[in-house]
Amino acid sequence: MSPDCIFCKIAGRQEPADIIYEDEEAIVFKDINPSAPIHLLVCPKEHYSTFLKTPPEVLPMLQDVIRKVAKQLEIDESGFRMIINNGRGGGQIIFHLHIHLLAGKRLGGF
């Protein structure tokens, strides 16, 4: 728990969020400023500031969570996009690791 971190506070239920999935290690909630009809933030409950600072074993745990959530929301077949912004130059604003999960409209390719 990092005292000034909003996502730690959401994980600790000290700040509200629209939570759509939770287990012992992870929490998934709606982005407050969505970029797609479905825009979720998939977070470990443990605080890691960036992707590069995250222990590698956390990532398969988040992959399992995404698999479950995608099935729950029935976007496992239709498709979705995942984004991790790493560091300020990568567009990261909240320094608690999160994977953006976007779906619900046809997303263009790069």
Residue from 65, 96, 98, 103 that binds Zn ion (CB under 5 A)? 96
CB of 30 to ligand 5GP, least distance (A): 6
**Binding partner selected for residue 2 from ligand 5GP, Zn ion, none, CB under the kind-specific 5 to 8 Å limit:** Zn ion
Give me the DSSP letters along 40-99.
Answer: EEEEESS--SSSTTS-TTHHHHHHHHHHHHHHHTT-TTT--EEE---SGGGT--S-S--E
Interacting residues with ligand 5GP (CB under 6 A):
6, 17, 29-33, 41, 85, 91-94
